[in-house]
Amino acid sequence: MDLYSPNKMLQKIPIKLFNSQTKSSNCISQEIAGFSVIEVLVAVVMIGILSAIAVPTWLSFVGRQQANKANDTIVAALQQAQREAKRQKLSYSVSFQYNNNIPQMAVYRSNDGPTNYWQNLGADLGIQASKIVLGTNLTDVNTTTSSSSVSYPLNSSVSQTITFDYMGALNLAVKTNTSSITAVQQQKLGYNSTTQNYKGLIVAVAVAKPGTTNQVTNVKRCVIVKTLLGSIQTGKDTQCN
């Protein structure tokens, strides 16, 4: 009679329910948590493919942004020199150089010289010096030729300087008995008689090729001074060659 008493039956029911729930839970967890080796390998391959696509695109974007920032800094420096030249009625210059593979720029009164004014290009903007290459087509102060292309990195053996006179124009001796303004402009600003265009004085920055500090990609930004009056315009890519 004890086997069929209500108390015995109530004691057995929870044990059976617990066993049933445990088995069911184990089955579900095995189905959800299990990953086969093939599934893991597929996931790894997919992550690798996505990384191969995304990383170069991101690096290219960062390079363009750095080139844009560096070019904006050069524009601002040239504009500052023009403003100060007109304000103080003195000649002002902007010079460029490399120092220990770091591109530098100086804005200064021409009579003072650049020695105490050099600053790393774009350092305050977080631009990595190794990621950009500074170039120019200058062959002398305020001078280029129609056949002079932009040299990357810039040629340290010649003066890399643009100078503005007290009126903010390019500081060139143009009022002589033998040379007219037009002749001097053609001689100094790279006039091409075939295209009848001026190459202009170009200061450029290019994105460096990965793993190099002096080889450039096709991503370029530049500042161009095309007239004796010192008008400034910007260019990109093929305009910066």
Return the domain boundaries, the chain. 42-240
Per-residue pLDDT of 63-105, as tens digits, reads 888 899 999 999 999 999 999 999 999 999 999 999 988 899 9
CATH class of the region 42-240 = alpha beta
Among candidate residues 172, 221, 230, 179, the one with its CA nearest the CA of residue 201 = 230
Per-residue pLDDT of 196-224, as tens digits, reads 788 999 999 999 998 888 899 999 999 99
Q: Determine the Cα–Cα distance for residues 94 and 118; give it in Å rounded to an integer.
A: 10
- Residue 199's identity, in one-letter code, is K
Q: What is the pTM of this model?
A: 0.74
Given CA atoms 82, 86, 88, 90 in this order, what sign does their dihedral have?
A: positive
pLDDT of residue 235: 95
